[in-house]
Amino acid sequence: MKIAAIGECMVEFAPNGHKAWQMGFAGDTFNTLWTLRGLLSDDVLTDYVSAFGDDEFSRQQLAFFSSHDIGTADSPHFQGGRPGLYAITLIGAERSFTYWRNESVARRLADNPDSLARSLNGCDLIYFSGISLAILSEKARQTLLTTIHIARQDGSCVAFDPNYRQRLWSEPAIAAQVITEAEKLADIVLPTFDDEHQLFGDVNPQATVHRLQALKARECIVKNGSKPALLSAAGKIYEIPANSSAIAVDTSGAGDAFNGAYLAARLKDIEPVAAVEFAHRIASLAIGVHGALTPMKLLKDALG
């Protein structure tokens, strides 16, 4: 089995709970791939498709990937390139982010269409997000969407999280158009209700489900924080409660961990309702640790 996630992995500085910072590497689609890596068997191939630089942070990033059996397929490497950076600020368990990403080399991930096509060739699952699209130029967005469309025609399952971040888009109308185009490409759509309400004006999660059903999404799971998730699968809609007993330390990456757990469960042929229940359980682990990545040991132990 071969899985590719597409997007931007940044340098992360996160509070460690002891009035100090810890450095790591994270980003929405990478966080999901990390969760998939931790929950799937070692013989599954996982690649992070992006663009990479050659500075010290880039070298450390690539070494981090390699140490956890995460490849980069045929992703381009650019001389003088460097990753973006962000810092997490916590107020209680809720987080806010400060970004330094305007010169991130990941913005060039679709500069070479042939390289991108080779990276996605033969994938069983391709995962990307609205952020993957937002950081690209208009031309590069179309390159990415076209390449994913071709891969889907060749048999890849496509999963997409709209993950709308207003500051990354020139205007909401463009974001809505591009994200809708991506949703039409996806077999599995994994939105967060707050984002859908902000961008599309959905009045409740049911409205989000109905809109995505009209776009022919095979499966749709609307995340809603600590409230129940809404699942649409096989023509039915299910409301599935979150883990209300989870103690939140840092909510960074919880939605990404949910996505990774759901996709891992579906790849193991677990039925959608049980897959959402499992995803809630993994998300509850994610909010119990600092930073966006749930430790691999916790993920492995969750399988027991």
Asked if 130 and 180 touch (Cβ cutoff 8 Å), the reply is no
* Active-site option among 28, 161, 195, 256: 256
Strands of the sheet with 188-189, listed across from one edge: 70-71, 45-49, 2-6, 125-129, 157-161, 188-189, 219-222, 229-233, 236-240
Query: Which residue shows structure tokens 């990937």?
Result: 65
Q: How far is residue 165's CA from residue 207's CA, in Å, rounded to a whole number?
A: 20
3-state helix, strand, coil split of the chain in percent (to 5) is 40, 25, 35
Under 8 Å CB-to-CB from 89, ≥6 apart: which residues? 15, 95, 96, 97, 98
Q: How far is residue 137's CA from residue 117's CA, in Å, rounded to a whole number?
A: 18
**301 among known catalytic residues:** no
Closest CA to 159 of 74, 68, 275: 275
Q: How far is residue 158's CA from residue 77's CA, in Å, rounded to a whole number?
A: 25
Asked if 189 and 162 touch (Cβ cutoff 8 Å), the reply is yes
Q: How many helices (H) and strands (E) does the chain have?
A: 11, 13
How far from chain centre, in Å, is Cα 189?
A: 11
CA dihedral of residues 137, 141, 142, 143 (deg, nearest 10): 100
Under 8 Å CB-to-CB from 273, ≥6 apart: which residues? 231, 233, 238, 240
- CB atoms closer than 10 angstroms to residue 177: 11
| Residues with a known catalytic role | 256
